């Protein structure tokens, strides 16, 4: 393609709408334009990148025997009501766009396709002889994000590859899950990305196990904890670790002490000259279930530890029993509005005891059960002679013990957040390291969650009707494109991995009025494209400096300049990633570039 004939517009300034480097660069280099919040037009250069990623995804999926299809984006609410997710997705979490059609039917815009594919499986899969099956699609998906941001990272309209597998039993599911793990590893390697596969929380999708594929980048929204022996990596939402050992408490007598101005663990441990590991911290959460019901939850946890919201949410969902579909909102401190409605008097924030006293609860709520739930984290349940709040501002108790001084909650949970520096559970000599990641892929063992809810069964060899075993597997195609930019750029622009660059090479003519330059460039442009090296020709009537800057901004891996060295039968070839420049005989350009491209793929 000739730049003079392309929709090729670059910007000198960073657009105000963009916060992170990849978002700025994709806008400045003319890859995309914003049409609405979280909604982008993918311009021709970006479309080529997305196609290359899709082609790699397709090849790796096809190699596993998966079959491509295309499912509807418009989804009838009935199917989502069968699975029990309609309210969660449209109301509680509100991430599914929904509409009413001209027949007054409710429809959702697919953020994911478990319901649709399960309905198809229910219709078409009758016998164990049809199993296993793995169906996938590459498609635009929709999520009405509360905070759409960072361009393609968290858009409201984005491209996904999603696959759904069906199995006669769990072993078959696990085998396909492993195939998908391998396929995803291949996809990310072939795209030229640095990444990590990590244990993950399954969230609203549900199921028994899941792995996320994280592209490593500082702007990643997720925190990954891993060990350097390569044996453990997990999203912080899911990560486990051994907490530091608690320092034995020296407070052997239970008593209430005057501890003014110590609402934080730090100030309290300083005043009492004790270790935070000797303190039981009591954190109050306001939880909104997707049924609309609000419950207060008091979590007791060791003073040096924090509650992980996702783990807490999962514990609460388990209690709700609605196969994980429950949504909760957790607040570190009760908001003022709630205090008025719920609490009878101002709460002793910073001084709450492990059992929040009954007289804090608004009388009208006393008969609502449960008015609040208590749970104790594993780190706090083992403590003895601990320091904790007294339910009275300015006072703490020391030397406390469960069941003696405070009733021990019957709910003992693991909701602590693992931290960098913690010891690993698989090998306590390893400590957890931290990294930022962008979630690009997520694979799930769904089990029979959807097939059971929607009655998708098959006839086993024994003649028995059995709910299908299912897995699902997603890759964010458009997000992957931007994550590559986030991982690979410099101050001058994008540095595309060759495999997903919109073009491999660009021939730059410094001066288009120079006939020799143009002739050489045209010939190279034609020959390179004929040889399979996808090449742009910058034949615009612009200054050489502008063209060089643009080629760096756009990030094409190899730049060929038909400049001064033409006199000696050579052209300059510059590698974008290293900045390395060399002069090459014109006759050698095609084979050299062919080799470079082949080496990089």
Whether 431 and 281 have beta carbons less than 8 Å apart is answered as: no
Nearer to a copy of itself, 155 or 389 (CB): 155
Q: Does 97 bind a copy of itself (CB under 8 A)?
A: yes
Give the chain's radius of gyration (CA, Å).
Answer: 29
Q: Which stretch binds a copy of itself (CB under 8 A): 140-148, 207-215, 268-276, 487-495?
A: 140-148
Tokens read off for 338: 């709630």
Pairing of strands 372-377, 294-302: parallel
Q: Does 35 bind a copy of itself (CB under 8 A)?
A: yes
Residue 32 backbone dihedrals phi, psi, to 5 degrees: -160, 165
CA distance 256 to 143: 52
Nearer to a copy of itself, 398 or 481 (CB): 481
Site string for a copy of itself, 38-57 (x = CB under 8 A): -xxxxxx-xx--x-------
Applying CB under 8 A, the site for a copy of itself has a residue count of 60
Which residues are CB-contacts of 61 (< 8 A; sequence separation ≥ 6)? 68, 136, 161, 163, 183
Number of other residues whose CB lies within 10 A of the CB of residue 507: 28
One of 17, 59, 63, 67 touching a copy of itself (CB under 8 A): 67
Chain-centroid distance, C-alpha 26 = 20
Instruction: Identify the helix (H) or strand (E) that includes residue 118.
Output: helix 114-124
CA distance 189 to 92: 37
* Residues in 496-525 at the binding interface with a copy of itself, rule: CB under 8 A: none
Pairing of strands 98-100, 433-447: unpaired
CA distance 198 to 201: 10
Q: Does 102 bind a copy of itself (CB under 8 A)?
A: yes
Rounded to a whole number of angstroms, the minimum distance from the CB of residue 280 to a copy of itself is 39
Q: Does 590 bind a copy of itself (CB under 8 A)?
A: no
One of 20, 49, 119, 236 touching a copy of itself (CB under 8 A): 119
SS3 assignment, position 514: coil
Q: Does 73 bind a copy of itself (CB under 8 A)?
A: yes
Q: Does 16 bind a copy of itself (CB under 8 A)?
A: no
Whether 430 and 229 have beta carbons less than 8 Å apart is answered as: yes
Q: Does 9 bind a copy of itself (CB under 8 A)?
A: yes
Pairing of strands 395-400, 386-389: antiparallel
Q: Does 156 bind a copy of itself (CB under 8 A)?
A: yes
Rounded to a whole number of angstroms, the minimum distance from the CB of residue 463 to a copy of itself is 17
Rounded to a whole number of angstroms, the minimum distance from the CB of residue 477 to a copy of itself is 11
CA distance 538 to 513: 13
**Which of 463, 466, 373, 483 shows the shortest CA–CA distance to 26?**
483
Rounded to a whole number of angstroms, the minimum distance from the CB of residue 58 to a copy of itself is 10
One of 17, 19, 65, 428 touching a copy of itself (CB under 8 A): 65
Q: Does 175 bind a copy of itself (CB under 8 A)?
A: no
Q: Detail the DSSP E strand segments found in 129-194.
A: 133-142, 157-167
Q: Does 18 bind a copy of itself (CB under 8 A)?
A: no
Q: Does 357 bind a copy of itself (CB under 8 A)?
A: no
Tokens read off for 454: 């929607």
Q: Does 394 bind a copy of itself (CB under 8 A)?
A: no
Q: Does 142 bind a copy of itself (CB under 8 A)?
A: yes
What are the beta bridge partners of residue 447?
A: 470
Q: Does 529 bind a copy of itself (CB under 8 A)?
A: no
Rounded to a whole number of angstroms, the minimum distance from the CB of residue 65 to a copy of itself is 6
- Where along the sequence are the contacts to a copy of itself (CB under 8 A)? 1, 4-7, 9, 30, 33, 35-37, 39-44, 46-47, 50, 65, 67-76, 79, 94, 97-99, 101-103, 105, 107, 109, 116, 119-120, 123-125, 129-130, 133, 135, 139-140, 142, 144, 146, 156-157, 541
């Amino acid at each position: 393609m000739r730049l003079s004939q392309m929709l090729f517009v670059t910007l000198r300034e960073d657009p105000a709408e963009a916060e992170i480097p990849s978002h700025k660069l994709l806008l400045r280099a003319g890859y995309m334009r914003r049409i609405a919040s979280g909604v982008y037009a993918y311009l021709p250069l970006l479309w080529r990148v997305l196609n290359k990623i899709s082609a790699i995804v397709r090849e790796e999926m096809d190699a596993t025997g998966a079959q491509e299809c295309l499912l509807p984006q418009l989804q009838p609410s009935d199917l989502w009501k069968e699975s029990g997710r309609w309210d969660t997705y449209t109301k509680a979490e509100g991430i599914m766009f929904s509409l009413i059609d001209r027949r007054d039917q409710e429809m959702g815009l697919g953020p994911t396709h478990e319901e649709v594919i399960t309905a198809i499986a229910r219709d078409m899969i009758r016998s164990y002889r049809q199993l296993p099956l793995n169906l996938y699609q590459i498609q635009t998906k929709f999520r009405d994000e509360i905070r759409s941001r960072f361009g393609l990272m968290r858009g409201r309209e984005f491209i996904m590859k999603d696959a759904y597998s069906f199995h006669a039993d769990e072993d078959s599911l696990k085998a396909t899950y492993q195939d998908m793990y391998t396929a995803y590893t291949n996809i990310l390697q072939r795209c030229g990305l640095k990444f990590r596969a990590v244990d993950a929380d399954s969230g609203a999708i549900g199921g028994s196990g899941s792995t996320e594929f994280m592209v490593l980048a500082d702007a990643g929204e997720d925190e990954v904890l891993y060990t350097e022996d390569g044996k453990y990596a997990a999203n912080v939402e899911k990560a486990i670790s051994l907490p530091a050992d608690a320092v034995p408490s020296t407070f052997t007598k239970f008593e209430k002490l005057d501890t003014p101005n110590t609402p934080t663990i730090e100030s309290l441990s300083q005043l009492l000259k004790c270790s935070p590991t000797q303190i039981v911290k009591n954190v109050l959460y306001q939880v909104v279930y997707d049924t609309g019901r609000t419950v207060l939850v008091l979590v007791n946890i060791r003073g040096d530890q924090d509650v992980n919201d996702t783990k807490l949410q999962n514990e609460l969902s388990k209690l709700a029993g609605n196969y994980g579909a429950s949504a909760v909102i957790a607040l570190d401190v009760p908001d003022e509005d709630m205090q008025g409605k719920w609490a009878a008097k101002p709460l002793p924030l910073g001084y709450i005891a492990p059992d929040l006293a009954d007289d804090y609860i608004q009388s009208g709520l006393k008969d609502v059960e449960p008015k609040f739930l208590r749970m104790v984290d594993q780190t706090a349940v083992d403590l003895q002679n601990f320091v904790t709040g007294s339910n009275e501002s300015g006072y703490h108790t020391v030397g406390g013990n469960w069941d003696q001084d405070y009733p021990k909650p019957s709910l003992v949970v693991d909701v602590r957040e693992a931290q960098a520096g913690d010891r690993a559970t698989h090998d306590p000599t390893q400590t957890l390291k931290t990294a930022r990641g962008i979630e690009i892929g997520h694979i799930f063992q769904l089990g029979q969650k959807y097939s059971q809810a929607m009655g998708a069964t098959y006839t086993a060899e024994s003649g028995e009707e059995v709910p299908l075993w299912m897995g699902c597997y997603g890759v964010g195609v458009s997000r992957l494109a931007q994550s590559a930019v986030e991982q690979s750029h410099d101050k001058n622009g994008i540095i595309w991995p060759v495999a997903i660059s919109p073009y491999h090479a660009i021939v730059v003519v410094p001066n288009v009025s120079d006939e020799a330059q143009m002739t050489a460039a045209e010939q190279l442009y034609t020959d390179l494209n004929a040889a399979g090296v996808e090449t742009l020709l910058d034949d615009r009537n612009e200054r050489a400096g502008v063209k060089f800057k643009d080629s760096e901004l756009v990030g094409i891996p190899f730049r060929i300049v038909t400049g001064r060295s033409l006199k000696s039968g050579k052209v300059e070839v510059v590698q974008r990633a290293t900045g390395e420049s060399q002069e090459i005989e014109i006759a050698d350009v095609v084979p050299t570039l062919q080799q470079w491209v082949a080496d990089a793929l």
